Structure 1
């Protein structure tokens, strides 16, 4: 089948990123598709679900569900909703004026985050996308980086090992901040974080080369705070890191999951309440296909 045509027949969020990342078209070619994210499809459904107070799901954060404000803002950023669209601008006004992290964190405004790098990294992704990147979060992430180059939400000792889950969240936030021309130089911290991933081939223990977690070989979307190999590769691609021998095994894993029709399946979903179910587990996935194809292109692999 014509996989590109299939992608372009999907949600506006898929269409505009396909045009940008796979077809290499200029912004003028995909601007209207991106603008449509807030008007129709997944993006519109997310915006429809915002409470009058500015939250989603009546909360800033939930431990086991994905319908609260933090994950919804991250998903809107992932979809690429334009911050200057009328619906998105109104949603952002509500968040800025009405959403904070509660008494525990001193009523810190939403885009200023709290303390955990796995949460703050995701908030920084949204803040960078929507014109509210927080210097406070950046400072915390820089201070929280472990000696091995990673991050770990469950440890305050710099000598403790990093966690892939926390590290990918922190790195995505810092790279988004750098891409939004944030004034603080975060390049050294990003480079150390990327070395943490690459020195472990994105999936293996550095000390003995054993697989860290078999679950990382199953690709989900949205990923929320969870790491998997496709997420790690797609991040390195977006960050402009050259593909080298350290990603070879991970790239082969992605390539090997391509179906006979050229598409990738949604292999699993993270349990928990969501606002929008974008795709069905076990079915061909536009998100997974788009992400896999742009990873293979970055790695210099043929697309067919």
Structure 2
């Protein structure tokens, strides 16, 4: 695959893309993967973000807002880039999120108007804290809190305290990513979390990843347009990328989403960046409407999982 034109184009990109190409598409040796990954802190997008950190350890001197320059969303992006989990700068920012946001119910609450942990934010922050190797018993409380917030349909919804009775795609994928990162580092509540994740997978599959379970109609057209970084928002590529990462068993209910992925593919084998989520940014990673290395990387590794005949 190394001589493939699309692969070569991907390898001309940022080190955050290159290391994942070596890992997920080329099956390179560990040393090659790690050599590329370590460059994130000193070259390209990752290095630029690290240089923008406040002396106190935050970004934009804020925890959650403004979107997307705050500490939460900068660390979310650095996690997606694959920055070294032991990076001291990132860990400093992550500890601030934990210390400032941990709420008495075990969730994360950055909002004065809320008297409870916000589920979507708790999922995102748990993914950050777990990924960056934060060893603190409060993470166990966060995982337990998320277990208690799961709804009867298998999903999660940050609007549950306001009366919501149906899972949210956005909240569910953020919690799933958070619990996955948590299980990489912690064993507490492992069996309960595994069951919780299976139930959430069924929630998404029952919706064919983007359709109403009642009418079959597309829930939100934005879910069918692939963005990077996804921020808090759900889309089909983000969901499929999660399922390829966990090597989910094949299921016919993935087919609609895979068909959508294939329809979006350009004749040259790449995928465009289809949308940006409105908000402040330090810099644009890619241009909307043009071929995207991030979407192409993710699209190819999703298809590699889906087309694997060994399962």
Distance in 1 (alpha carbons) for counterparts of 2:83 and 2:264: 29
Deviates more, 1:179-188 or 1:231-240: 179-188
- How far is the alpha carbon of 1:113 from its aligned partner? 3.1
CA contact (8 A) 2:16 2:81 kept: yes
2:229 matched to which residue of 1? 222
Match of 2:70 among 54, 68, 80: 68
1:30 matches 2:25: no
Structural mapping, 1:93-104, within 5 Å: 93=92, 95-96=94-95, 100-101=99-100
CA contact (8 A) 1:198 1:246 kept: yes
CA contact (8 A) 2:94 2:132 kept: no
CA contact (8 A) 1:144 1:156 kept: no
1:260 matches 2:267: yes
1:284 matched to which residue of 2? 291
2:276 matched to which residue of 1? 269
1:78 matched to which residue of 2? 80
1:299 matches 2:301: no
- How far is the alpha carbon of 1:45 from its aligned partner? 0.7
After superposition, the CA RMSD in angstroms is: 2.2
Residue by residue, what CA displacement relative to the aligned partner does 1:19-43 show, whole Å, maximum 9, x if unpaired? 1111122322210110111111010
CA contact (8 A) 1:168 1:227 kept: yes
Match of 2:195 among 188, 192, 195: 188
- How far is the alpha carbon of 1:83 from its aligned partner? 2.5
2:123 matched to which residue of 1? 121
Deviates more, 1:30-39 or 1:178-187: 178-187
Q: 1:147 and 1:261, CA in 2 relative to 1: closer, same or farther beyond 3 A?
A: same
- How far is the alpha carbon of 1:157 from its aligned partner? 7.5
Distance in 2 (alpha carbons) for counterparts of 1:182 and 1:13: 29
CA contact (8 A) 1:150 1:163 kept: yes
Structure 1: 5+ residue stretches without partners: none
Distance in 1 (alpha carbons) for counterparts of 2:15 and 2:268: 23
Residue by residue, what CA displacement relative to the aligned partner does 1:191-234 show, whole Å, maximum 9, x if unpaired? 11111001111011112322211221111111111001111111
SS at match of 2:167: coil
CA contact (8 A) 1:124 1:174 kept: yes
Instruction: Name the TM-score, length of structure 1 as normaliser.
Output: 0.90
CA contact (8 A) 1:10 1:286 kept: yes
1:147 matched to which residue of 2? 152
2:112 matched to which residue of 1? none
Structural mapping, 1:33-52, within 5 Å: 33-52=36-55
2:8 matched to which residue of 1? 5
- How far is the alpha carbon of 1:124 from its aligned partner? 1.2
Distance in 1 (alpha carbons) for counterparts of 2:280 and 2:220: 25
SS at match of 2:200: helix
Structure 2: 5+ residue stretches without partners: 110-116
Distance in 2 (alpha carbons) for counterparts of 1:97 and 1:128: 14
Aligned residue-pair number? 293
- How far is the alpha carbon of 1:275 from its aligned partner? 2.1
- How far is the alpha carbon of 1:278 from its aligned partner? 0.6
Distance in 2 (alpha carbons) for counterparts of 1:178 and 1:288: 26
Distance in 1 (alpha carbons) for counterparts of 2:94 and 2:199: 33
- How far is the alpha carbon of 1:297 from its aligned partner? 1.0
Distance in 2 (alpha carbons) for counterparts of 1:82 and 1:147: 37
Instruction: Name the TM-score, length of structure 2 as normaliser.
Output: 0.88
